[in-house]
Amino acid sequence: MRVIILDTANQVAQYAADLLLETVRKKSRPVLGLATGSTPISTYQQVINAVQAGQASFKNTTTFNLDEYIGIDDTHPQSYRHFMKHYLFNHIDIDLANTHLPMAASLDETRLVENAQDYENAIQEAGGIDLQLLGIGENGHIGFNEPTSSLRSRTRIKSLSESTIEANKRFFADGEYQPHLALTMGIETILESKHILLLATGHKKAAAVKAMVEGPLTAMCPASALQQHAKACLVLDQDAAAQL
């Protein structure tokens, strides 16, 4: 694991954007793994600025997001498809047909299991993920792989932990339905990416970062699985790195 500690969250975003843009420029058919949450929003803004300034093009880029909520369709403002359009896709020259998120609107389990397998197949058919961007949950989750997730897991249905539901409550209006289930890439799916870039900013992430970097490899901290990856890079600000 390579750990890079920068002074500010803004520097973390700039570093991440530069790496995403470098991958897009270097490959003829780049495949990016993307993440939601508040952390990558400023990274996406830097990417948008570069594309709009003509410094990079996403015309040939394919993307796969980590996860999607089950039971809300992709026009719902809290769906991750909506998030990605709002914070990135609508502002760059990517072909929306090349952007993928797990299909999770249905509540039918058989259908969801099929969709999960289709997602795995689509990643393989695209040639695998060149660079996977990750955030980290306060409980050490990556994607929606909550503590106790199998380290060998693949894309599947996952129930969200109470603490994740609580942490993500801020995105939902009072009384609005908040999903308790998600379709998420598994830990093994994530580990198959050629490069991994995890971003963490702010003191709320400090304990999870310590467990990921200095703790044992354990399903209780899914992000600790990155210790097993030869090309995982963590980019932290001073607050997130405070307990290292």
Binding stretches for ligand GLP (CB under 6 A): 35-39, 66-67, 135-137, 143-144, 164, 168
Closest contact distance (angstroms) between CB of 158 and ligand GLP is: 10
Closest contact distance (angstroms) between CB of 189 and ligand GLP is: 13
Closest contact distance (angstroms) between CB of 143 and ligand GLP is: 5
Separation between Cα atoms, residue 123 and residue 185, nearest integer Å: 10
CB atoms within 10 A of CB 157: 17
Separation between Cα atoms, residue 66 and residue 162, nearest integer Å: 20
| 51: amino acid identity, one letter | V
By the 8 A CB rule, do 135 and 164 touch?
no
Does 76 participate in catalysis according to the annotation?
A: no
Q: For residue 30, report the phi and psi dihedrals to the nearest 5 degrees.
A: -65, 145
Closest contact distance (angstroms) between CB of 200 and ligand GLP is: 8
Separation between Cα atoms, residue 88 and residue 85, nearest integer Å: 5
CB atoms within 10 A of CB 7: 9
Separation between Cα atoms, residue 169 and residue 81, nearest integer Å: 18
Q: Toward ligand GLP, which CB reaches closer, 113 or 165? A: 165
The catalytic residue among 68, 120, 141, 145 is 141
Does 130 participate in catalysis according to the annotation?
A: no
Q: Toward ligand GLP, which CB reaches closer, 56 or 232? A: 232
Q: Toward ligand GLP, which CB reaches closer, 25 or 204? A: 204
Best CA proximity match to 133, nearest among 15, 22, 32, 4: 32
The catalytic residue among 65, 115, 120, 139 is 139
Separation between Cα atoms, residue 179 and residue 82, nearest integer Å: 15
Q: Toward ligand GLP, which CB reaches closer, 61 or 184? A: 184
Q: Which residues are catalytic?
A: 67, 139, 141, 146
